[in-house]
Structure 1
């Protein structure tokens, strides 16, 4: 038996997190009390997209004393914000994504992200659950839809994005939890090359 008991509020406080992005919230709405339970003191500005039935939903929070949200943007696949760091006066676009688990919607998802990324005038930080893999190495057992891998990789190349690789932890971010599990790396953080300057 395995159990995971996680106090997200404590983690946010302990790690002094300035940005919170949650995917698969499976919630239509959030009350003030629920948001306050994640980050007490009303220090965060929040925006979300509702779940579609029993899947999806994105919640994005930004700590207001450090970061100013100049603009919020939502659609079916992401919550975005134009952010300004109050002390450094640096601006960027922050986008938290949740890609569709039904892959017939993946081309529409990638089209939305491509339009958003190509129209950006600021550096982009884009992260979340893409529900797509980039190569066969992202799945165990190996194998995947080459067309979808190409679609995802073409988006990353076309929009001149770079992946920030995770350090530590499991190689895979999702499992079907079967006796002989399928495991995939579906969660990623991508940044525009402006971040390298």
Structure 2
């Protein structure tokens, strides 16, 4: 399974539709989230043109004037699709794999680029995570950075970086880092600024189903934002996987009780050193 997240900076601008269509086709994309469409509505014919002969179900968040707008689509041959919520900064859908019955939530975000909107965006991120306790993948243009190294000039707003990292920690999210690129946006100016503002996060139960999931950044022209391509790896995985301790477990009130119960339980396995 493959998915694409891209801030395209206006689908009606020259070269945008062919670029999106080719990325969907060439990368065999099964779901797609497009930010900054700058469109209030889409015709069925236009949406069909994006995926050729591959049937997709679509939903969208209308642009506000000439700004914003999110488009989300999934391959209807592979998935049962239900629109979740259309909010100020995000668009979500419930997705069920027709072959395995695996249910998960897909969330596409476009965070506020303005200072006075960032707290509202952070609040919405918490709201979205609190609405569903199952597997989630959430990606897009957050317009936030986590660390000073996420910008080439190292200048960041620590208030929003801390709030962003607190959201990640609060919900125990794992980030799928691009394997081939540090920065995902450029201002295309002589005094160049590079930043990593596009991200993809997953919950631990989504990772448990797709332990080989990985992300890479694609070439950005004609936009100044790099698309992110996520590949789930092998088919859905329901077997045993290597144990990994998660720091966020320490924040759970039940953590100590769970550990004590696990340690006091009888062990029925034989260590290899004893055989």
TM-score (norm 1): 0.92
Match of residue 171 from structure 2:
159
Match of residue 174 from structure 1:
185
Indicate the structure with greater strand content.
1
Distance 1:9 1:86 in 2: 25
Distance 1:158 1:69 in 2: 28
SS at match of 1:7: helix
Which runs of 5 or more residues in structure 1 are unaligned? none
Distance 1:51 1:191 in 2: 26
Cα offsets for 1:167-192 (capped at 9, x unmatched): 22x42111221101111101000001
Distance 1:171 1:25 in 2: 25
TM-score (norm 2): 0.67
Question: How do 1:33-72 residues align onto structure 2 when only pairs under 5 Å count?
Answer: 33-41=45-53, 43-72=55-84
Tell which structure's C-alpha radius of gyration is larger: 2
Classify 1:175/1:80 alpha carbon distance in 2 versus 1 (closer, same or farther; 3 Å): same
Match of residue 90 from structure 2:
78
CA contact (8 A) 2:54 2:75 kept: no
Distance 1:139 1:25 in 2: 25
Classify 1:4/1:62 alpha carbon distance in 2 versus 1 (closer, same or farther; 3 Å): closer
Which runs of 5 or more residues in structure 2 are unaligned? 1-14, 209-275
Match of residue 9 from structure 1:
21
CA contact (8 A) 1:68 1:85 kept: yes
| 1:118 Cα deviation after fit | 2.1
Match of residue 188 from structure 1:
199
Structure 1: 4+ residue segments shifted above 6 A: none
